[in-house]
Amino acid sequence: MIVIIFSLFFCSFLSLFLFRKFAIIINLVDKPNARKHHSGAVPLVGGLAIFVVVFSYLVVFPDTITSSFLYLVCASILLLVGVIDDLLDISFRLRLMLQIVISGLMMGFGGLFFQSAGYLLGNFELNLSIFSYVFTIITVVGAINAFNMVDGIDGLLGGLATVTFSSLGVLFYINGDNALVAFCAVIVISTIPYILMNLGFPLGQRFKVFMGDAGSTVIGFTVIWLLLEGSQSGTERSLNPVIALWLAAVPIMDAITTIIRRIKKKVSPFRPDREHLHHILQRLGLGPKMTLAVICFSASVFACIGIFAQVYNVPEYIMFYSFIACLLIYNHIMQNIWRFTVVIRRAVRRLKRNKKTN
């Protein structure tokens, strides 16, 4: 087991080094601009390096997930289009159409779709019937773009992905789905070298890499694929559908709030800005690493609540309404963040004055 872990870790690290050299040659790099404040041109190869290792694992162990060949085809298409987007900046409409097509392939050839939303409204199961296909498309597109949107500071996407896949691995382990446990572990282990290099550790900022749209979209797609496997496939589910909301709570809430805010401003819901949670926390005075720690800790708390609810059979409707309550509170805070910012800054200044006086 230790040898396998080390091998995956080493292969991911090696892939990062090889791909970053290739990225510099073909100009697959992220350059600073008005919205991006990093230093220098940074290779966008994190996703490529991670999923070359993950894909290789699936080629060797194809029975790990349902319809592994279909997953490889769909994820490879997303990965390739993501690379092209990082190079040439493809229009969002084209990417959206591709994501809808990918959703159709999942449902048509893989038989993966939301047949049931669980017991969200009470003591009866909410079967989606003819709406299952539409709901599946919405959730696939939503998951892909939620993880894409959250990629804003060093280590954040990798950290949130690690929280989600680790939580899924725990639930699969509890249910005895050892193949899926192994798959989640492979993703997490392959992601750690990226997180280290993204944070500039241990080789410094010179070897820094970013995930790129190629990586963020495939992460979102893989999350929804595993959630469908765990909540819809088989007679004994590894997790109830509502628990998925808690395992990816931060990306989901941030994406929904962001879309609502942009629609209110009458701009495209997918137009980039600097109003995400990580931007707000930094404007409140937190440094990048503290912001990363706060968000990943919050995501871990939400995920632990989800795992606890699954293990101890907390009614699904309670978990659903609790999540909606958290979402409404989060949305209210983010829509009125300037007021909270003023209050917090005044409180901080007051504390500083009191310390000087004492």
pLDDT the model gives residue 108:
92
Q: pLDDT tens per residue, the chain (358 residues)?
A: 677 888 889 999 999 989 998 898 888 887 765 455 555 678 999 999 999 999 999 999 999 998 999 999 999 999 999 999 988 888 888 999 999 999 999 999 998 988 898 898 888 888 888 889 999 999 999 999 999 888 878 899 999 999 999 999 999 999 999 999 999 999 999 999 999 999 988 777 788 899 989 999 999 999 999 999 999 865 568 899 999 999 999 999 999 998 888 888 887 777 777 778 888 888 877 888 999 999 999 999 999 999 999 999 999 999 999 999 999 999 988 888 777 777 777 776 777 677 666 6
Phi and psi at residue 195, to the nearest 5°: -60, -45
Alpha-carbon span 292 to 282, nearest angstrom: 10
Task: Classify the phi-psi angles of 182: left when phi > 0, otherwise alpha if psi is within -120 to 50, otherwise beta.
Answer: alpha
Alpha-carbon span 35 to 244, nearest angstrom: 31
Peptide bond into 202 cis (omega under 30): yes
Instruction: Map tokens 């765990």 to a residue.
Output: 230
DSSP state of 236: S
* Number of domains present in the structure of the chain: 1
Alpha helices in 199-234 (DSSP H): 212-232
Domain that holds residue 64: 2-357
Alpha-carbon span 220 to 240, nearest angstrom: 19
Q: At what angle do helices 212-232 and 178-198 cross, to 10 degrees?
A: 160
pLDDT the model gives residue 330:
93
Alpha-carbon span 346 to 354, nearest angstrom: 12
Instruction: Map tokens 């199961």 to a residue.
Output: 125
pLDDT the model gives residue 88:
86
Within 8 A by CB and 6+ apart from 95, the residues are 81, 85
